[in-house]
Chain A
Amino acid sequence: MASQAPVVQTKDLTIRFGGNVAVNAVNLTVESFTLKAIIGPNGAGKTTLFNLLSGQYKPTSGSIMFKGREVTDLGAADRTRLGVGRSFQLTNIFPSLSVLENVRLALQSKARVGMVFWRNYRSYSELEDRAYELLRQVLMEKRWAVEAKTLTHGEQRKLEIAILLALDPELLLLDEPTAGMSLEEVPAILELIQQIKAARNRTIMLVEHKFDMIMTVSDSIAVLKEGRLICDDSPEAVACNSEVLEAYLGGGVKNG
């Protein structure tokens, strides 16, 4: 039934900014509980594609189905409620709230506490405890009480993932989760992604530039170039596709 339908299915998805077609007639299908990597050179439209899927942008034309349901006209908040969760390429947290509060707010939204304005927010102790649990999952529990803006860049990315998991989304859109991280911090994120994938209850879409990382974690890879989907295949097939090598790695292969 619902699980039979692909999690994501786009049809001729297009968005233009003025004369610039950032995403151009993309037909992309993502099956349940798989990890699809999205790669492509800078400016290929990867982030824009995520913005379309999460409802930040409205497409110029084309449609988006989520679990067999048309969501093209829904806003970002509604899609979050349906189960679309995204992390941002540029770190996007609540800088002057505590780390715990960042996660707790996500849980409050997910728990549908609603517009309660007479109860103390601290009386929802289960939300706090669960938030701490999630921080533990991303190895951030020691930092629960500090303001989020005092975290290192890598820690902020981990916090973002904790926020994302708090929303318990069926579809995770991870936009360069390791961007700007120091090298020591990358394996922990990779490990975390693999953990999520191994649980086999979420579908992941991952934008990354680290090619070896993509090859190890993804089930399939979609390649974007100048807004067009030029290839969507297994990692092995994509790695051998000459058009991809040219588009993605440019002259790098010949030189390497």
Chain B
Amino acid sequence: MESKTMQPTPVQMERENLRRVRFTRPALWVQLVLLACLIAGPLVVPSFRAMDVMTKVMIFAVVAASYDLILGYTGILSLAHVTFFGIGAYSMALVVFHSGQAAWYHIPVAMALAVGISGVLAVALAFFSLRVKAIFFTMMSLALAEFVFILGDQWHDLTMGEDGVSFSLPGIFSVNWSDGTFLGATLNGRLMTYYFILAASVLLFIGLVRFVRSPVGRVLKSVRDNEQRSTALGYKTFHYKVLSNVFGSVVASLAGVLFAMWLGYVNPTSVLGIPVMLNILLMVIIGGMGTLYGSIMGAAFIQVAEAWLPDLQKLTAWLLPHVEVAQRLAERWILYFGILFILVVIFFPKGLVGTARDVIARRKLRLAQRDHQPGL
């Protein structure tokens, strides 16, 4: 480097600068603090309810982020995302259930099944309907979602129908397993499952982040900007869309495996239903489409609201025991979702993270402009 007499270009200087601040940038610290909270959380606050919400936030952050890859980064409106999630969840549940006794290898087998089935389905769906108009893809995905839901609901021999499937996890993940205490917290199957899910979710999320920052991610971005131009550059844009669609679907199915592991129970409504699909959509929109990190915010928002809005209902009943209207309103907590949703769309059209990024970018621009006009 020093031997070069040539001035580094601004591009090289910026790259060098980015490399230097790699380990000191604020975003990294936010991520590490978040990770530390998730690791320490169950040890510090030994509340099952809190751990339950945190786990669901982690899992749905991955599901929403993988949906953001398809909706926000690729510009495809799929209604079958919940289907891939459910396929993962059912893979886990059915592998254990139909083998009678849980064994450790059931987890990798379930994951392989989830990846295999959702991968093949996603490729088929994409090849069959992505070439045609976008609305056709949406309709086909809805048909697929309905079809798989009916399978789950009606194919009693395989899925136990609407009763759902209960199963137990093997070894240290089993609810019966317990082995002393660590830092004051009881080491039990729940806690082990929690950490397994934490590690897996972080890995999946990193996978998604890497995907959008890869050469493929850049091509997808260019397709959103001007698809015809991408084609003229020699990119087969169709293949890129198929790839991201399949990748997002496979990640969702792996998150489904984690979800089944956490609940130890699956049924069609909880992992294949359209309401779950709408929740995922809501998470992405609240967090901000095309931001990936917004999915964490969106998932946290919805999960926390779902966990604690029923309390609000009880609170209302307790505070206003004779006001019928207030109680009726509190029962309709779904309605609050609707109102919150509308507020978010009006005030943060780019979602929480998207809006924050805009504000930061504007401030940077203002600072840069001030630096450029020292004389004024």
A95 and B15 contact, Cβ closer than 8 Å, known pairs A106-B233, A116-B215, A118-B210: no
Q: Which residue on A lies nearest to B221, using beta carbons?
A: A97
A121 and B215 contact, Cβ closer than 8 Å, known pairs A94-B222, A115-B239, A129-B12: yes
Any chain B CB within 8 A of the CB of A57?
no
Task: Assess whether A115 is in contact with B240, with CB atoms less than 8 Å apart.
Answer: yes
Give bound CA distance, A145 to B12, whole Å. Answer: 12
Any chain A CB within 8 A of the CB of B214?
yes
- Number of chain A residues whose Cβ lies closer than 8 Å to a Cβ of chain B: 43
Partner of B233 from the list A80, A117, A118 (CB cut-off 8 Å) is: A80
Give bound CA distance, A100 to B221, whole Å. Answer: 14
Q: Report the minimum CB–CB distance from A241 to chain B (whole Å).
A: 34
Any chain A CB within 8 A of the CB of B18?
yes
A-chain residues with CB within 8 Å of residue B10 when the two chains form the complex: 132, 141, 144-145
Q: Which residue on A lies nearest to B218, using beta carbons?
A: A121
Q: Report the minimum CB–CB distance from A205 to chain B (whole Å).
A: 16
Task: Assess whether B214 is in contact with A96, with CB atoms less than 8 Å apart.
Answer: no
Any chain A CB within 8 A of the CB of B219?
yes
* B218-232 near A? 1/0 per residue, CB < 8 Å: 110110011011111
Give bound CA distance, A131 to B15, whole Å. Answer: 14
Q: Which residue on A lies nearest to B8, using beta carbons?
A: A129
Q: Which of A199-241 contact B (CB under 8 A)?
A: none
A132 and B11 contact, Cβ closer than 8 Å, known pairs A92-B228, A95-B225, A97-B221: yes
B-chain residues with CB within 8 Å of residue A86 when the two chains form the complex: 232
Task: Assess whether A117 is in contact with B247, with CB atoms less than 8 Å apart.
Answer: yes
Task: Assess whether B233 is in contact with A124, with CB atoms less than 8 Å apart.
Answer: no
* B196-211 near A? 1/0 per residue, CB < 8 Å: 0000000000000011
| Most central of A86, A108, A113 by chain B CB within 10 Å | A108
Which size class do B's interface residues fall under? 20 to 34
Any chain A CB within 8 A of the CB of B24?
no
Q: Which of A81-133 contact B (CB under 8 A)?
A: 81, 86, 88, 92-97, 100-101, 104-106, 108-110, 113-122, 124-125, 128-129, 131-132
Any chain B CB within 8 A of the CB of A167?
yes
Give bound CA distance, A101 to B222, whole Å. Answer: 9
Partner of A108 from the list B218, B225, B231 (CB cut-off 8 Å) is: B218
Task: Assess whether B232 is in contact with A124, with CB atoms less than 8 Å apart.
Answer: no
Q: Report the minimum CB–CB distance from A54 to chain B (whole Å).
A: 7
Give bound CA distance, A94 to B237, whole Å. Answer: 15
A-chain residues with CB within 8 Å of residue B119 when the two chains form the complex: none
A-chain residues with CB within 8 Å of residue B228 when the two chains form the complex: 92
| Most central of B18, B218, B221 by chain A CB within 10 Å | B218
Task: Assess whether A167 is in contact with B219, with CB atoms less than 8 Å apart.
Answer: no
Partner of B235 from the list A88, A92, A109, A117 (CB cut-off 8 Å) is: A109
Any chain B CB within 8 A of the CB of A76?
yes
Given contacts A56-B232, A94-B225, A97-B221, 10 further A-B pairs with CB under 8 A are: A94-B226, A94-B229, A95-B225, A97-B222, A101-B218, A105-B233, A116-B215, A121-B213, A125-B12, A141-B10
By a beta-carbon cutoff of 8 Å, the part of chain B in contact with chain A is: 9-12, 14-15, 18, 210-211, 213-219, 221-222, 225-226, 228-236, 239-240, 243, 247
By a beta-carbon cutoff of 8 Å, the part of chain A in contact with chain B is: 54, 56, 76-77, 80-81, 86, 88, 92-97, 100-101, 104-106, 108-110, 113-122, 124-125, 128-129, 131-132, 141, 144-145, 163, 167
Chain A to chain B: the 8 pairs with minimum beta-carbon distance, closest first: A80-B234, A117-B216, A109-B234, A94-B225, A117-B214, A132-B11, A109-B233, A113-B215
